[in-house]
Amino acid sequence: MLREFRRRELSSLTAWTGGDGPMPAEVDVVGVEYRGRLGHPSSYGLLMARATDSPGVRLDLNLMPVALSVPCDEVTLGPTEPEYAEALHAAGRDLATGLVITAVGEGLYGSSVVVFTRLVAVISLLMATGLESADEVDIWAHWDSAWPEPRRNA
């Protein structure tokens, strides 16, 4: 199953199970790919994960020979940068159901701690609600709340 959640013309989340997404997912795995404004430092990220009873986030990356076409960026699949791995672990600390991350796709220019923190929130919600019944408004609300804008002093 594949679902696309679009917000404005420059932001989209693509979520999938099975072989419908940019990378094939095992039966119990959900994938989410974010594509934002080209050239922005938070414009790309991909995560695939399965739920686990153990709290937090664990990385169990499966290397897959998949080529992803992302305009204006070079995507790497597999072992992630240490700062992104730490962001994944930090984002998963408060999850009721843990995640085992099975794939990470990061852009050389467009990935950031922000993107991976938000992807953990979205994939966790999709695991809880199911991809079929996920509400687009809820998906984007989780995306936004995972990395709040700094408050300005009055």
pLDDT at 133 over 80: yes
Distance of CA 93 to the CA centre of its chain: 16
Nearest in space to 125 (alpha carbons), one of 56, 32, 11: 32
Can you list the alpha helix ranges (DSSP code H) found in the chain?
82-91, 113-129, 136-145
139 three-class SS: helix
Spatial separation of the C-alpha atoms in residues 124 and 36, rounded to whole Å: 20
- Digit-coded pLDDT (tens) for 3-53: 999 988 789 999 999 988 888 899 899 999 999 988 788 899 999 999 998
pLDDT at 66 exceeding the cut of 70: no
- The pLDDT > 90 percentage for the chain reads 56
Mean pLDDT of the chain: 87
Query: Would the pTM of this model clear 0.85, i.e. be above it?
Result: yes
Provide the pLDDT for residue 46: 93
Beta carbons of 35 and 75 less than 8 angstroms apart = no
Q: How does residue 152 score in pLDDT terms, banded at 50, 70 and 90?
A: very low
Residue 142: per-residue pLDDT: 92
Section 67-96 average pLDDT: 84
Burial 87-125 (b: 16+ CB within 10 A, else e): bbeebbeebeebbbbbbbbbbeebbbbebbbbbbbbbbb
Phi then psi for residue 139, to 5 deg, are -60, -50
CB burial of residue 49 (10 Å; 0-12, 13-18, 19+): buried
Q: How confident is the model at residue 140 (pLDDT cuts 50, 70, 90)?
A: very high
pLDDT at 50: 95
Q: Structure tokens of 53?
A: 């009873």
The yes-or-no verdict on residue 151 having pLDDT over 50 is no
Say how far apart CA 60 and CA 8 lie, in whole Å: 34
pLDDT over 80 (residue 68): no
Is there a contact between 124 and 134 (Cβ–Cβ < 8 Å)? no
Q: How far is CA 124 from CA 87, 97, 110, 116, 141, in A?
A: 15, 8, 22, 12, 13
Q: Which residue has the higher pLDDT, 73 or 86?
A: 86
